[in-house]
Amino acid sequence: MIRGSRRRADTERRDDGPGTYAGGPATVIQADLTIAGDLTTDGAIVIEGTVIGTVNGREVTVRECGQVEGMILAETAFIEGVVVGPIQANSVTLYTSAHVVGNVFHHELTVQPGATIEGRRPWRPHIDRKQVPA
């Protein structure tokens, strides 16, 4: 497992933004870090840097300065930054600054004004991130 720094603010969900997690500390990929490879956790991942590969976690947050080039598999995905590849999550929130190039497979999708999606948005009854082949 690859870990970035942990922040106390990332340990509980707040109403003032994505990337905080009620299940424990989140793994944070810092803005100056690029990872080439797959990341998998049963917890939360907050991406402020760049990940080239599959990101699989219970909760995945791509901050405005973050970028993922590959698939995101999650129970919940919060996207503020750039994702080039498919997203498969039960709940997906695309914030104003989000830019997604790829399909967004979801059960629940929230798109704020200004977010861009270059791909389809097919609905799914339930997505089990542990059963989806990467």
Q: Give the global pTM.
A: 0.80
The answer to whether residue 1 scores a pLDDT higher than 50 is no
Per the document, the length of the chain is 134
* Domain annotation covers residue 131: no
Helix or strand run (H / E) with residue 36: strand 34-36
- Asked if 81 contacts 65 with a C-beta cutoff of 8 angstroms, the reply is yes
* Domain annotation covers residue 54: yes
The answer to whether residue 52 scores a pLDDT higher than 50 is yes
Rounded Cα gap, residues 24 and 109, in angstroms: 25
Domains identified in the chain, total number: 1
* Domain annotation covers residue 74: yes
